Chain A
Amino acid sequence: MGSRHPARAFRHFVLLAVPLAAATLIAAAAYADDLTPQEKALVAAAKKEGSVTILNPLFSDRTGQRLGEAFIKRYGLGPDFKFNNLRKGTGATVAQVRQEIQAGKHTVDILLVSAPGFYAEAVKRGAFEKLDSGYWKNHEELAKKAGQYFDYPYVVVPLAYTFQPVWNTSCPGMEHFNAESYADVVKPELKGKTIVSDITKSFTYTNTAISLAENHAVDMDAMWKKLKATDPLVEFRTEPKMQMVISCQRPLDMWNLSGRVYQNVLKKPELAKVLKIGFYKEGQVMLGNQASVIKGAPHPNAAKLLIEFLLSKEGTDVVVEGEAVNTFLKGYEPPAAAKPYLLDMSKAKLLGMKDWVAAASQFKTVRENWQKMFQ
């Protein structure tokens, strides 16, 4: 600026410096404010542990990477910290943790999966660490309202997904299709166009069926019969079902995940025009994914910190943006990109169960009935 106009220079300086200082102060305050005392207490130990492994069926590579980056950044865990996102199928995740618990040999720190029966049993055996969470209280109310299973301080529910109807309007005969109710997806004119999800292969489908019946939302037997009349194809993995919808092999899947649509659109944006998601006026069964820290895990503090992160707004943002899943966080506003794929939690009819654990005893009968019809 030069010494020729010292007054002007000083003014410029102030004009620049003050906002800068203010911003810094605000940022520092914001940073300092964001961390709850529970988080602060865990950071140092987590950093020392140097790594965390989360076993789940949900997070894609992309989501896992972003989650890891955000997690490390928020708590300043350093560039050497290793974030391991281990993704396996629902059954495989439960099987692995169960085996590790029985063997007393742990490689997994956190389990995140929808499996109330397993969690309840494991809590009985004292297989989980006790959590001290600053954020859980922000989820608890809505989760309870949605009839979810949780068991604080051992088991929390950071996110949930729900099965919605998905269809491809570019396929012949589907141009004007719309699904708002279970009646819409079993119409006779849909013969040869439908998919039935194999409920014997996954708890989540079975639980959805049981919940719908328990809440008297849908007459399941009648619905299955009508579905059978449309000559559906049997499959249980969501991605292959999505592929069938995209390729018009079977243009309608009554139970798929909006997250899947979201990811395929990310790969090929033109699909956004033709892939449609509906929701059922009879109600959407919320399949909460429980999360716990395993007792005896190699990195317990990092794990507890990660749970906190998942329950915080910042963590929720990453997960929602990556997978288009729902959260029970009170007053949560999802990021713009994911919004079209999510339920409006305040408007939609959310269904749960009174006793998810007891429901497990119905599995056999429900599955056998279904098998009699479709296998």
Chain B
Amino acid sequence: MSVQTAAADITRQPTSSRWRSLVTQESVATLVVSVIVAAAVILPLFTLVVSSFQVLDSGGFDTTWGLDNYRTLFTDRVIPKAFVNTLVISAGSTVLATFFGVSLAWINARTNSPGRDRMEPFNLIPFFLSPFVGAIAWHNLAGGKTGLLNSWAREYLGVHGNLLNVDNIWGVIWVTGLFFSPLVYLFVVGSLRRMDPSLEDSARTTGAGLLRTARTVTLPLVAPGILSGAIIVFVTSAGEFGVPFKLCAPYGWQTLTTQIFSKAVGDDANQYLGAAMSMALGVITVFLIWIQQSYIAPRSFTTVTGKGFRPNVIDLGRWKWLAFAFNFSFIMVAVVLPIFCLVVVSLHPVWQAEIIPSDLTLHNYVKTLFWWRPDHIQAATNGIYNSFILAFLGATIAMILSLVVSYMIHRTKGFGSRLLDFLCVVPVGFPGIVLAMGVLVTYIKTPIYATLWIILLGYITRFFPYGQRNVSSVMLAISEELDQSSRMAGASWFTTLRRITIPLLKPGIFAGWVLLFIIFLRELSMSIILYTSGTETLSVGVYYLTNYENETLTSALSMSQTVVLLICVFVFRRVAGREALTA
């Protein structure tokens, strides 16, 4: 075409093209979401940091700036010991969880142990239940004189005194390790299943025996998965509040989380000292998570190929029955026994370590569930109602947020997306209690204080990374070209999201939603800081009952919570399928 026509065409260029490069639907949404995430995550942490440098005076109202809080971490009688206890518990739980997680994963993915497919969903159940409830159940099973197992041992085995005692640090390690075994299991089983069998076959063809192949080929390939799982367990144990609160704090062993709790709302309330302790704990856990995310997690993809195949299964011969027994026993001990105990205790008016058939009654369930009756316990019935609302609303909002954030992290490039990725991981590193204190102090002057909204904010801030991971893993599997071809076909960014991306992500979205629903329903450590009359949650109800009422009422409400969670697990399993949880 002639130069003049071309020039004329170019000058007739719509100027809206210039704006487009700045204000696209995509960039606006990115900005809004980034601001929301940054505010939600950074503000509470910032408040904590500032608080840790404020020192409370003896009157209890005024503060001055100083480093005394940090000094107290070392000089106080209890705090350094609490720190040591926390490390011991975390380390012990990690070892126990790794032992169970790896052995069960190996049995399930690599051996011909009978019934392993049937047993697999049960291996995962402890992950979905509340460890606090688990601690309550184990206290009634094996906690000194009132333990059911102990009384059976006395009666049927003639044992003097108490056979078992979980009311100490070892009990905490036992319960925490059991309940977090599925975390390691998930990492390792996914790794084992996705492993290309030709990697091991090639070792076998060079003459290496079964054990040597396992040691020199399989183990190193699974190592990143094991390490990832172990770190997650360590961090989660360090931040666990309910189990030490029930099993070791009352008997003389404090942990950082129980100390932070007592500094937040105990007699010696000093939220500023609590903030300093939170910083100490938080820095360690965030560091560990960062290591896991940056260095270990990426390496666990090295064995993934696109093709599906069957990994090598080892024939154990007669030993397969031992493997079966091991798996079966785990399920009995980790799942069936505690639930059985909850049921038994909840049916008695007062628990005295023996089953008294004439005493059995459903009255405790009536008092904790039937809100229309005059003798209901408010904290319990409020709890059920509030927890359901928080779980529904929270899961929904968190998934919407996860969707946009995942999209931004995986589909846009550059510094912004990497920052967002990091911001998403940070809340996971901080214990719930710590984050809740930050949220409380940050938002106490706003209208959301003392309402369900502040609890909702806390939940979403802390847990939306879980939803985001679910969405991200599905998104990674979806080729970017599916979105790009929609853009090329003429669809705007938003239309593409609506018609292509979201429909394809549906399985991941729903799986994430159910997972978050479960997590919100059983959450304790944040709720306990942020609740007030009328906004109690289910776990707060259990906490209230354990403080002011007796074991039987506590067990009744705990059992109700467990039943709801089990139903959710069933639904989750149905919808999301086997691979949905693998990390």
Contact = CB atoms under 8 A, between A and B. Distances in A.
B207 to A, nearest CB: 61
Contacts of B449: 103, 105, 107
Contact of B269 (A55, A95, A368, A371): A95
A53 interface: yes
Contacts of B378: 61, 64, 85
Interface in A296-326: none
Contact of A264 (B271, B350, B534): B350
B533 A267 contact: no
A53 B252 CA distance: 35
B547 A368 contact: no
Interface stretch (A16-24, A86-94, A156-164, A327-335): A86-94
B550 interface: yes
B61 A121 contact: yes
Contact residues on A (Cβ < 8 Å of other chain), bracket: 35 or more
Interface string B134-147: 00000000001110
Contacts of A94: 267, 269
Closest 8 CB pairs of A and B: A86-B533, A91-B267, A249-B145, A95-B269, A92-B265, A91-B266, A107-B450, A103-B444
A362 interface: no
B533 A95 contact: no
A85 B548 contact: no
Interface stretch (A221-229, A233-241, A348-356): A233-241
Contacts of B549: 239
A243 B60 contact: no
B523 interface: no
A118 B445 contact: no
A178 interface: no
Interface string A113-155: 0000110011011000000000000000000000000000000
Nearest to A270: B350
A60 B548 contact: yes
B351 interface: yes
B269 A246 contact: no
B103 interface: no
A351 to B, nearest CB: 21
B481 interface: no
A248 B144 CA distance: 11
B220 interface: no
Given A104-B445, A247-B146, A247-B351, A61 B377 contact: yes
Contacts of B352: 246-248
B262 to A, nearest CB: 7
Nearest to B353: A247
A84 B534 contact: yes
A243 B550 contact: yes
A368 to B, nearest CB: 7
A136 B533 CA distance: 28
B240 interface: no
Contacts of A203: 267
A181 interface: no
Contacts of B60: 98, 117-118, 121
29 contacts: A55-B533, A61-B376, A65-B374, A84-B534, A85-B533, A86-B533, A89-B265, A91-B262, A91-B266, A91-B269, A95-B266, A95-B269, A95-B271, A98-B60, A99-B444, A102-B61, A103-B449, A105-B445, A107-B450, A125-B61, A200-B268, A202-B267, A236-B250, A239-B550, A240-B547, A248-B145, A249-B144, A360-B58, A368-B77
A346 interface: no
B265 A88 contact: yes
Contacts of A91: 262, 265-269
A8 interface: no
Contacts of B265: 88-89, 91-92, 95-96
A375 interface: yes
Interface string B363-389: 000000000001111110000000000
B306 interface: no
A375 B252 contact: yes
Contacts of B399: none
B340 interface: no
Contacts of B379: 61, 87
A249 B147 CA distance: 10
Interface of B: 58-61, 77-78, 144-146, 250-252, 262, 264-269, 271, 349-353, 374-379, 440-441, 444-445, 449-450, 532-534, 544, 547-551
A201 interface: yes
A86 B379 CA distance: 9
Contacts of A244: 145
Nearest to A363: B268
Nearest to B536: A86
B259 to A, nearest CB: 12
Nearest to A202: B267
A273 interface: no
Given A86-B533, A375-B77, A235 B349 contact: no
A105 B444 CA distance: 7
B59 A121 contact: yes
B23 to A, nearest CB: 38
A268 interface: yes
A247 B145 contact: yes
Contact of B251 (A234, A239, A264, A267): A234
A216 interface: no
A11 interface: no
Nearest to A243: B550
A176 interface: no
A64 B377 CA distance: 10
A101 B320 CA distance: 65
A62 interface: yes
A87 B262 CA distance: 17
A98 B353 CA distance: 41
Interface string A183-202: 00000000000000000111
B99 to A, nearest CB: 32
Contacts of B145: 244, 247-249
B445 A98 contact: no
A214 to B, nearest CB: 20
Contacts of B251: 233-235
Contacts of A98: 60-61, 269
Contact of A237 (B250, B271, B350): B250
Nearest to A120: B59
Most chain-A CB neighbours within 10 Å: which of B267, B449, B532, B534?
Answer: B267
A89 B61 contact: no
A84 B533 contact: yes
B146 A249 contact: yes
A125 B264 CA distance: 22
Given A61-B378, A95-B269, A239 B534 contact: no
Contacts of A201: 262, 266-267
Nearest to A102: B61
B533 A375 contact: no
Contacts of B250: 234-237, 240
Given A201-B267, A264-B350, 6 more contacts: A91-B267, A91-B269, A99-B440, A244-B145, A247-B353, A271-B350
Contacts of B533: 53, 55, 84-86
